[in-house]
Amino acid sequence: MIVLLGLLVAGMVRHDRALAISEALARGQTPGVPDIVLPAFVGPPVSLPGLHGHPVMLNFWASWCVPCREEAPLLQAVWQQFHTRGLIVLGVDTQDLSTPAQAFIARYGLSFPAVRDADGSVARRFGATGVPETFFISADGRIVGKFPGEQMDAAVWRAAAQALLAGRSPTR
């Protein structure tokens, strides 16, 4: 009985920690980016804290996600327009298989960095409720906002990139 109670408490703590980022954002707080390193599709693993100094659009996606297919060209356009100014668009393929994910990257001509979250643990840690979902990270490593679903307006993506580059939250 004590072991069962301990497991229940441990599970609740993990669940609370997983929702902490989204809940903090809902309260108007800006939590720090978690210390996470993810395997890249191309090149070395990517450390989220290692991106410090750059504003980041962290987009969770999956090859099987229809809205992700619609959003991918918009993210690519933001990357093409703003990466020379220091903005990083980082695609996080979550709960997906590697081969379809690589086909997705090729099909949409994605040239921004893409990493794998095969088991969805990173998406859960961010408190993502599904895909697509995009988190905005300031150059000083604070999570300052998110789009909690698909965003199909190119002007909204451009405005979000400009706000991040100016040190403002794109969602307030």
Which range (3-12, 54-63, 88-97) has the least confidence? 3-12
Which domains, ranges and CATH numbers included, belong to the chain? 2-165 (3.40.30.10)
What pLDDT shows up at residue 1?
A: 53
| Angle CA 34–17–39, to nearest 5 | 40
Nearest by Cα to 144 from 13, 43, 56: 56
Q: How far apart are the first and last CA of the chain?
A: 47
What pLDDT shows up at residue 20?
A: 79
| Angle CA 147–150–155, to nearest 5 | 75
For the stretch 41-51, pLDDT in tens is 999 999 999 99
The backbone torsions φ and ψ at residue 75, rounded to the nearest 5 degrees and listed phi first, read: -65, -40
For the stretch 7-22, pLDDT in tens is 443 443 344 445 678 8
Task: Give the predicted TM-score (pTM) of the model.
Answer: 0.89
**CA–CA gap between residue 48 and residue 33 (Å, rounded):** 7
Place of tokens 């750059």: 54
Say whether pLDDT at 89 is over 50: yes
Question: 29 or 172, which is more confident?
Answer: 29
DSSP annotation string for 29-93? --PBPP--EE-BSSSS-EESGGGTTS-EEEEEE-TT-HHHHHHHHHHHHHHHHHGGGT-EEEEEE
Q: Tell me if 88 sits within 8 A of 75, measured CB to CB.
A: no
Residue 102 — pLDDT band, cuts 50, 70, 90?
very high
